[in-house]
Amino acid sequence: MPDVTVREIDEMDGIFGGVARRARAELGVSAWGMQVLTLPPNWDGYPNHNHGANAYDANQEEVYIPLEGSATLIADEAEFELRPGSMARVGPDQMRQILPGPQGIRFIALGGRPGAFEANTWTEIGADPPNPGE
């Protein structure tokens, strides 16, 4: 039997009225945190927060991967556009807030603790690609 898990996002366990879907748990992922969030148009309920040492899920950097819609990521005084085809990384101590645009936004939030993952050298910028035949 293949070691593969497939789930429909809208059928995943939802919290906060379906705003967040427990994608990590639904897929059985154990190497990193992952949720799918669907924020309604122009919603201001996404908290300004960080994942620093005193946070409830401490010391996590996050990557946001927009699937549908758009939003503005606020970090300090800077604003960054989130839209499909882009990704954004935010460090653990950085305060951040996501403000969805007029169509709302659906995005994947990946999280992990720096240093817990060991990257293969071929994934570094400018490195030679892997040779699966060796």
pLDDT tens per residue, range 82-100: 999 999 999 999 999 999 9
Domain region containing 27: 18-107
Q: Tell me, what CATH number does 80's domain have?
A: 2.60.120.10
Identify whether 129 is part of a domain. no
Identify whether 96 is part of a domain. yes
pLDDT tens per residue, range 8-43: 999 999 999 999 999 999 999 999 999 999 999 999
pTM: 0.91
Query: Residue 38 carries which side chain, given as an amino acid letter?
Result: T
pLDDT tens per residue, range 91-134: 999 999 999 999 999 999 999 998 888 888 888 999 998 888 76
pLDDT tens per residue, range 39-77: 999 999 999 999 999 998 899 999 999 999 999 999 999
Task: Report the candidate in 36, 38, 34 with the shortest Cα–Cα distance to residue 57.
Answer: 34
Number of domains in the chain: 1
What lies within 8 Å, CB to CB, of 121 at 6+ separation is 127
